[in-house]
Amino acid sequence: MIFAPFETDSEKNTIMTKTPLRIGLVGANPNQSWAKLSHIPAIQALPEVELVAVATSNDKSAREAGEAFGVSQFYGNADELAQGCGSRVGCR
C-alpha cells in the first residue's frame, strides 16, 4: 500500500491529502482492460490522486501501458510493482 499524509477540512467534512495519493495499478493493459475504460480515467480525474505505476502480464504490454497512460514506472507483473512501489517512498 502507498499512503499519503492527510488532514480533515471540518467546514466541508472531507479529508484532504497534503500530498497526492500515489497509485500503482495492476491490470492496466492499454489495449484490452477494464482499467483503460474505467479505472485510469477516474484516477486521472481526481486532483488528489496520481497514477505513478502500472503492471501488466508482460514487459512489452507494461511498457505500452506506461506510454499510453503517461506513467514512467511500469512492470511486467504485479510482484515487481509491489517490490518497486510497496513502501511510502518506493514509487516516485
The confidence score (pLDDT) of residue 2 equals 44
Domain 6-85 class, CATH top level: alpha beta
Question: What are the residue ranges spanned by the domains of the chain?
Answer: 6-85
Burial of residue 27 (CB within 10 Å: 0-12, 13-18, 19+) is middle
Question: Which residue carries 510497496 as its cell?
Answer: 86
pLDDT in tens, 19-65: 888 899 999 988 888 888 999 999 999 998 999 999 999 999 999 99
The confidence score (pLDDT) of residue 40 equals 92
The confidence score (pLDDT) of residue 89 equals 45
